[in-house]
Structure 1
Amino acid sequence: MKKIKLNPVFRGLFVALIAVMVLSFVESCRKDDDVSEETKTQKIVFKAEGSTGVNISKAVYGIDGNPITVTGLSGTTWMSPEITMEGVIYNTNVVVNATGMDASSTLKVQIYVDGVLKKEGVSTGTNLSASTSYTF
């Protein structure tokens, strides 16, 4: 069997062509992943619920370091409006303050993403401050 020898110039062009094809494929795959993450839509809701006699007074919640403060609240429950976010989300946080009747009073805060409970925090006592955060 006769060996075929390639001219060094053709060999270099062949290697360069293969390298460009591989890099193009890798880059196109990476761009497809980025686009799907950017166009992802998620619905986020923050909730708080106190035991009997708890009075919720203040809530601070936010997504990616953009806090929203709600004051002048009253009652045993609170829920944020549903927030629809498109693109990449890194984290969410919620802190709710309330006053309890006695040392056994509890305050629970929750973070829901697309209707699914993702994280929960609980505080117990008379001066209640429950918080939690969820990292995507």
Structure 2
Amino acid sequence: MKKIKTLLSLSLILTLFFACKKDNDTPSGGAHKVIYKAVGSAGTNINIAVTATGVSGGTETFTSLTGSTWTSPEYTFPANAVVATAAVSGTGPSATSTLKVQIFVDGVMKAEGNSTGTILSAQGTYSF
């Protein structure tokens, strides 16, 4: 479990560190409200979630999660934010079990990451 948590944290930090914004992107003009959601198939148990908080590359880790769904608190990302990202891990009862992580920006789903199997690790990233 600690190994999975470390791996998720490292992957999230590396994503934040290496993500870059294209120079030709137009500015968004304001802050964004971001919510992360994780949804597992029947019998899936979500254990850990690591999310970007929108504050200078900050992350928040949620441990000891249970159940097949999870929703983060709402984060406010500043107008100059580059990326929103989340990684979620869990376990499934069979090789066909699924886990998806979704990123909602200003109420609209913008990105989704999926995982299949008994050991599940899904990551989603959205570039502003």
TM-score (norm. length: structure 2)? 0.74
**2:47 matched to which residue of 1?**
57
Q: In the TM superposition, what whole-angstrom CA distance separates every residue of 1:82-104 from its partner, at most 9, and x where no partner exists?
A: 11233311001100000000000
Q: In the TM superposition, what whole-angstrom CA distance separates every residue of 1:47-72 from its partner, at most 9, and x where no partner exists?
A: 00000000000000103631110001
TM-score (norm. length: structure 1)? 0.70
Aligned-residue Cα RMSD (Å) equals 1.8
Aligned-pair identity (%): 49
Gaps of 5+ in 2: 1-25
Q: In the TM superposition, what whole-angstrom CA distance separates every residue of 1:90-130 from its partner, at most 9, and x where no partner exists?
A: 00110000000000000010000000000001100000000
Which stretches of structure 1, 4 residues or longer, exceed 6 Å deviation after superposition? none
Q: Which has the higher helix share?
A: 1
- After superposing the two structures, state which structure 1 stretch, 65-74 or 82-91, moved more: 82-91
1:115 corresponds, among 100, 107, 117, to: 107
1:83 corresponds, among 75, 91, 105, to: 75
Number of residue pairs aligned between Structure 1 and Structure 2: 101
Higher relative contact order (CA 8 A, sep 6+): 2
Residue type of the alignment partner of 2:109: L
| Higher alpha-carbon Rg | 1
